[in-house]
């Protein structure tokens, strides 16, 4: 019988166990050239922080950014464009596959599995996907990809009229992204397009599993960012979009002098992909926000305090 010392195994047993674990680690990591082939972290043996990270590192180096961990999908931000990884053709491939879980791990696998659970003839049930991670992990991009996937696979009506309705819903769903990102995302130290709010997105299907609508609920918006930003960070995208994209007439109407700088808009010299004002305005039009309403939104501005650098006439924020 193993000896117990204060409820623990003896020192010799602990030493033996440690040696055994080291041997298993060396044996596992000795086949490092094959680590990228492990598409499920449950296949890692022994399961330690080192083996899991080495496996993910090997897959990342091989441009494999998705790895299963049982019923959870681990996604790594590639920090580079990978357009072929999110093409419509690939969406259709995962949607048409008899067993999508046998394909390479992908966010489309999760999307397709939940879609099939909703349309199940045996017991259709509502489905939820939780997208979590630290800043810069890719939550916004992942949510965007899921919405695009559902818009593609759930928009296959038979009649011409219903096809037009489905296309309109799909376009509105996709156009909600640039609007939410313009008013709720900002450039931070770790992420140029960091969501500063939480969101619950609900996609609605009818009995034939065609998309009929969507609803977005937002919460916990970081309102303090409007007046206070950390060093080297930026305010919300929409402010920079207006300053960089407004026409001469709009600048005059919105009291935005050409070349003016504003104390609440730090780091304006940074040019981001998200600074495109026209994309936001076009998306707002698709969502039913007409030009006069947009103008009323954009001309809302603070007048209480002088905010412009080097100006004594109290230039407004926006």
User: Does the annotation place 140 within a ligand binding site?
Assistant: yes
Tokens of 17: 């166990």
139 annotated as ligand-binding: yes
Cβ count within 10 A of residue 245:
15
| Residue 238: how many other CB atoms lie within 10 Å | 22
Confirm whether residue 133 is marked as ligand binding: yes
Q: How many CA atoms lie within 13 Å of 212's alpha carbon, on the beta-carbon side?
A: 7
Give the H/E segment covering residue 230: none
303 in a labelled binding site: no
Tokens linked to 265: 């808009």
Q: What is the rounded distance in angstroms from the CA atom of residue 86 to the CA atom of residue 79?
A: 15
CB 314 within 8 A of CB 262: no
To the question of whether residue 138 is assigned a binding role by annotation, the answer is: yes
DSSP assignment letter at 274: G
Query: Which segments of 103-219 are extended strands (E)?
Result: 185-186, 194-195, 198-205, 211-219
- Determine whether the annotation assigns residue 136 to a binding site: yes
137: annotated binding-site residue? Answer: yes
* Structure tokens, 304: 């209480």
CA distance 104 to 101: 7
| 11 among annotated binding-site residues | no
Are the CB atoms for 180 and 199 separated by under 8 Å? yes
Give the residue ranges of the annotated binding site for ATP.
133-140
Please report, in range form, the residues annotated as the binding site: 133-140
């Amino acid at each position: 019988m193993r000896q117990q010392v204060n409820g623990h195994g003896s020192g010799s047993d602990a030493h033996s166990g440690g040696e055994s674990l080291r041997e298993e680690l060396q044996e596992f990591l000795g086949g490092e050239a094959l680590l990228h082939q492990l598409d499920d972290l449950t296949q890692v043996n022994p399961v330690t922080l080192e083996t899991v990270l080495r496996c993910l590192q090997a897959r990342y180096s091989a441009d494999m950014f998705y790895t299963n961990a049982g019923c959870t999908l681990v996604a790594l931000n590639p920090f580079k464009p990978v357009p072929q990884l999110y093409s419509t053709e690939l969406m259709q491939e995962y949607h048409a596959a008899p067993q999508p879980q046998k394909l390479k791990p992908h966010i489309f696998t999760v999307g397709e599995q939940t879609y099939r659970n909703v349309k199940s003839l045996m017991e259709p049930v509502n489905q939820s996907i939780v997208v979590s991670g630290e800043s810069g992990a890719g939550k916004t991009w992942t949510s965007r990809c899921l919405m695009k996937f559902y818009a593609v696979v759930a928009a296959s009506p038979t009649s011409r009229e219903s096809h037009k309705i489905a296309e309109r819903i799909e376009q509105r769903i996709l156009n909600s992204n640039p609007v939410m990102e313009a008013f709720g995302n900002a450039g931070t130290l770790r992420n140029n397009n960091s969501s500063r709010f939480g969101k619950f997105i609900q996609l609605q299907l009818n009995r034939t599993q065609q998309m009929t609508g969507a609803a977005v609920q937002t919460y916990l918006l970081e309102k303090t960012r409007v007046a206070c930003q950390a060093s080297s960070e930026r305010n919300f995208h929409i402010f920079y979009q207006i300053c960089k994209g407004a026409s001469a007439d709009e600048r005059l109407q919105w009291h935005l002098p050409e070349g003016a700088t504003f104390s609440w808009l730090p780091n304006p010299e940074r040019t981001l992909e998200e600074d495109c004002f026209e994309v936001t305005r076009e998306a707002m039009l698709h969502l039913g926000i007409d030009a006069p309403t947009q103008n009323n939104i954009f001309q809302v501005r603070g007048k209480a305090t002088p905010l412009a650098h080097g100006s004594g006439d109290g230039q407004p924020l926006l």
